[in-house]
Amino acid sequence: MDGLDDIDLLLLKILSDNSSYTTKELATKVNLSTSPVFERVKRLENNGYIKKYIAILDAEKFNKGFIVFCNIRLKQHDRKIGNHFVKDIMQIDEVAECYNVSGDYDFILKVYARDMKHYQDFVFNKLGSVESIGSTHSTFVMAEIKNSHNISL
């Protein structure tokens, strides 16, 4: 966080809560005029503190509210198999997030599905076609308690 002052941190916090604020609205919130706020936000973007702006969709509204964390163990640990897995997973729409992890499993997937039947079809027909997978273990979300998408600054 070298080179960030309190106003930069405040701008980041505000934008992480709601990225749709106009420069004028941001300026009011941090007590500056629009030009320096615009320049600060551009600098934060250019320096990679802000990766992108997105709309967070309500999965329930799209009938995709059944959330599953799927733990994956690869058949073997070598570069070729790992690269094939990553390439295959990137093509599967139901996978919203994929993390390479340490411990008992190699990867954790966050999967959005309509219901258990849709998830079962996903496991058999989509994950089942990924040859590098050795085993899977699914954990079903009963309720989302916190999902802020924010980083503590």
pLDDT for res 1: 64
Q: Quick: pLDDT tens for 37-83.
A: 999 999 999 999 999 999 999 999 999 999 999 999 999 888 999 99
Please report, rounded to a whole number, the percentage of residues in the chain having pLDDT higher than 90: 90
Q: Determine contact, residues 149/16, Cβ cutoff 8 Å.
A: yes
Average confidence score pLDDT of the chain: 94
Q: Determine contact, residues 67/122, Cβ cutoff 8 Å.
A: no
Q: What are the structural domains, with CATH classification, of the chain? A: 6-46 (1.10.10.10), 59-140 (3.30.70.920)
Q: Is a pLDDT exceeding 70 seen at residue 148?
A: yes
The model carries a pTM of 0.86
